[in-house]
Amino acid sequence: MAAVIISMTNVNAQQKEYPKQEPMKPGMSEYWTPQPKVVTPGDIKTNTAPSDAIVLFDGKDLSAWTNGQGGPAEWIVKNGIVTVDKTKGDIVTKQEFGSFQLHLEWCVPADIEGESQARGNSGVFLQDKYEVQILDCYNNETYVNGMTGSIYKQTPPLVNVMRKPGEWNVYDIIYTAPIFKEDGTYLYHPYVTVIQNGVVLQNHTEIWGTTEYIGWPRVAPHGNGPIRLQMHGDPSKGISFRNMWIRPM
């Protein structure tokens, strides 16, 4: 008799109807605020920066830069471009940054000489710690984690898209700053995306630590830091830069 009662209970449970989920309407998954701020894009023809960017070099002077020791930056400014002066060392931005979008254009001299790392060598250091390599890799082989667009001595670029010497290359770099634990180790590593001439070289690549010429990357806790452009000591002629701007994120 008990078995019959259980069976009837199961039947009643299966027949019971519950409220159905209400149908979705388009507006139920839409929201309107906050509206993103309006940013006017730069003009490619006139090399202007986006309206919310900090201009690092406008073709007139190096007032946004120092020599790294607090003195004036003394690279050569002429005809809207700045060229590395091999006798004056690196240049470093006065302002410090966390995460950012960085745009810069650079050109290897048309009559460049040398090979491997001794051919149009420079670099852009993110937060003054992590180097994205700049080098003439047009028909010029070198160790792959030292090529143009590499995270120097760490991660090679996905491809080689160098334009020939005398033509301008464009870097667009999206950088996410690290977060550190109390013990000084990474909670979140720094990450970088590097696009050269419209082609992705690094796709949200994890940076292992500081850039070291000799030895392995180190973990060095830090806060915001400047952008550094390198004066490399190789004997080749200096690289030129133009149209440099940054958007903190």
Indicate the DSSP class of residue 97: B
| Torsion, Cα of 165, 167, 172, 177 (10° steps) | 30
Instruction: Measure the CA–CA gap between 47 and 163, rounded to whole angstroms.
Output: 19
CB 105 within 8 A of CB 170: yes
User: Rounded distance, CA 117 to CA 82, Å?
Assistant: 21
Q: Kindly report the CATH number that applies to the domain delimited by 36-248.
A: 2.60.120.560
Are residues 134 and 211 in contact, defined by beta-carbon separation less than 8 angstroms?
no
Strands (E), the chain: 54-57, 65-66, 76-78, 81-83, 91-93, 100-107, 122-126, 130-134, 168-176, 179-180, 186-188, 191-196, 199-206, 228-229, 240-248
0.85 cut: is pTM over it? yes
**Sequence ranges of the domains in the chain:** 36-248
Residue 165: the pLDDT is 94
55: β partners: 245
* Full pLDDT tens readout for the chain, 249 residues: 455 555 555 655 568 889 988 899 999 888 899 999 999 998 877 778 999 999 999 999 999 999 988 899 999 999 999 999 988 889 999 999 999 999 999 999 988 888 888 777 899 999 999 999 999 998 999 999 999 999 999 999 999 999 999 999 999 999 999 999 999 999 999 999 999 999 999 999 999 999 999 999 999 999 999 999 988 877 677 899 999 999 999
Q: What is the pLDDT of residue 121?
A: 85
